[in-house]
């Protein structure tokens, strides 16, 4: 996808996000494969993911990271920028803050397209995870926060839309075939399938 495709892609994102909140899309199998749920869990920790689309060399990309090996939770795993929401934050504010803190993502509030419905994942504690979707045409100069991020991974949107078929939400993030963690993979694949319905 090129710069000229941005307005159309933005419109598709808005439609997909709106459709997701109407819950008219059956994600039962995807939820099971990724071991997440839309059913509310007890005392969940509110968390945000930032799914940021941006232009790199004239083509739309999205960004993920490899968590620092010093992290206690999921060291070395591929994830979207994200983390716990701080006291008083909503999902969007938390997602944008995490993007700034982890990779110096420069995203304005008016560049947020919307947020997908929150889903729940049980790890050692329960998480309520909201995926904040943003689209910017402004240049991004990512810098990894070495306390949290070992590597920044940038992938073309066209690669994401053409892979991770219906049989599996786990598309390769690099030549070694590494994939996103299950909750992150759910968010990406859920949105991908919704986008394909609105192309």
pLDDT at residue 54, as a whole number: 97
Is the pLDDT confidence value at 156 over 80?
yes
Q: For the segment 58-97, what is each residue's pLDDT rounded down to a tens digit?
A: 999 999 999 999 988 889 999 999 999 999 999 999 999 9
The model's pTM: 0.94
Q: What is the pLDDT of residue 139?
A: 92
The tally of domains found in the chain comes to 1
pLDDT category of residue 163 using cuts at 50, 70 and 90: low
The pLDDT assigned to 99 comes to: 98
164 token code pair:
């991770």
Please report which confidence band the pLDDT of residue 37 belongs to, taking 50, 70 and 90 as the band edges. very high
Q: Which two tokens stand for residue 172?
A: 């390769």
Strand partners, 2: 59
High-pLDDT (> 70) share of the chain, %: 96
3-state secondary structure of 70: coil
Residue 32, CB-side half-sphere exposure with 13 Å CA sphere:
4
Which stretch of 21-35, 84-98, 164-178, 184-198 has the lowest confidence by average pLDDT?
Answer: 164-178
pLDDT confidence tier of residue 2, bands split at 50, 70 and 90: confident
Q: What is the CATH number of the domain that holds 82?
A: 3.90.79.10
pLDDT at 61: 96
Radius of gyration (C-alpha) of the chain in whole angstroms = 16
Q: Average pLDDT of the chain?
A: 91
pLDDT in tens, 116-139: 999 999 977 899 999 999 999 999
Cβ burial, residue 87 (10 Å; 0-12/13-18/19+): exposed
- What lies within 8 Å, CB to CB, of 42 at 6+ separation is 126
- Can you give the residue range of the structural domain that contains 172? 3-197
Is pLDDT at 46 greater than 90 in this prediction?
Answer: yes
Instruction: Indicate whether 165 pLDDT > 80.
Output: no
How high is the pLDDT of residue 123? Answer: 79
Positive or negative, the CA dihedral 65, 48, 55, 34 is: positive
Higher-pLDDT residue of 42 and 163 is 42
């Amino acid at each position: 996808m090129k710069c000229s495709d941005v307005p159309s892609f933005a419109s598709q994102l808005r439609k997909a996000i709106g459709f997701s909140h109407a819950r008219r899309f059956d994600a039962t199998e995807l939820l099971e494969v990724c071991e997440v749920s839309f059913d509310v869990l007890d005392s969940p920790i509110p968390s945000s993911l930032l799914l940021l689309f941006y232009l790199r060399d004239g083509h739309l990309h999205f960004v993920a990271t490899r968590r620092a090996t010093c992290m206690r939770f999921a060291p070395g795993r591929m994830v979207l920028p994200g983390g716990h929401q701080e006291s008083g934050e909503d999902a969007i504010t938390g997602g944008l803050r995490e993007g700034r803190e982890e990779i110096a993502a420069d995203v304005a509030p008016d560049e947020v397209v919307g947020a997908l419905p929150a889903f729940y994942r049980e790890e050692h504690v329960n998480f309520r995870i909201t995926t904040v979707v943003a689209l910017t045409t402004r240049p991004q100069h990512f810098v990894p926060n070495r306390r949290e991020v070992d590597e920044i991974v940038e992938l073309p949107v066209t690669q994401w839309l053409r892979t991770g078929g219906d049989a599996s939400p786990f598309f390769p993030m690099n030549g070694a075939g590494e994939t996103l963690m299950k909750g992150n993979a759910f968010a990406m694949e859920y949105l991908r399938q919704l986008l394909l319905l609105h192309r």
